[in-house]
Amino acid sequence: MTYPLSIAVNGIDHSLAVDGSRTLLATLRDDLGLTGAKEGCDDSECGACMVLLDGRPVNACSFLALQADGRRVTTVEGLAEAGEPNALQRALLEAGGIQCGFCTPGMLMSATALLAERPDPTEREVRLALAGNLCRCTGYGKIVEAVLSAAAEPNAQGV
């Protein structure tokens, strides 16, 4: 059985019919073609599927699509500004905070939510905000450095 779903994803309104057990991640990836959020653990442990729901980070793999009805979703695809990487994306690249890249979308989304709430975070606050995102490649140091660097840029906090 399907149910109507109306969501705004990256500023674009979508009306869909989805199964009641369909996850937000499956809806974003399979129905809307937004493959930035990754399915890693499928159990809300790794953060690879992180998106923003009304500006708050959620693991899309364990969030039902219907729970997002009438709400605003931002995916990593929605972070670019006029087709160019935003300050946080640039800082992550410049700091060498990306290796395999699998965790990168989730890291970006968690960091975006942090910067929207705390424009000038401490290193500890960055580490706490990223605690739900696992990375097997970088050791986190360069990712934290990138978030702190982006925070220093004007207008880096816009979501």
Instruction: Please tell me whether the overall predicted TM-score, pTM, comes out greater than 0.85 for this model.
Output: yes
Side chain identity at residue 8, one-letter code: A
Q: 46-71, pLDDT tens digit by residue?
A: 999 999 999 999 999 999 999 999 99
What is the 8-class DSSP label of residue 27?
I
Question: Quick one: three-class SS letters along 45-87?
Answer: CCCCCEEEECCEEEEHHHCEHHHHCCCEEECHHHCCECCECCH
**Could you tell me the pLDDT band of residue 156, with boundaries at 50, 70 and 90?**
low
| pLDDT in the model for residue 123 | 97
Q: Cα(114)–Cα(21) distance, rounded to whole angstroms?
A: 30
Question: SS3 of 23, please?
Answer: strand
| pLDDT in the model for residue 10 | 98
Question: Mean pLDDT throughout 136-155?
Answer: 90
| pLDDT in the model for residue 159 | 42
Please give the mean pLDDT across all residues of the chain. 94
| pLDDT in the model for residue 74 | 98
| pLDDT in the model for residue 79 | 97
Question: SS3 of 118, please?
Answer: coil
Q: Domains in the chain, please, with CATH?
A: 2-78 (3.10.20.30), 87-151 (1.10.150.120)
| pLDDT in the model for residue 153 | 85
Give yes or no for residue 157 having a pLDDT over 80. Answer: no
Q: 92-118, pLDDT tens digit by residue?
A: 999 999 989 999 999 999 999 999 999
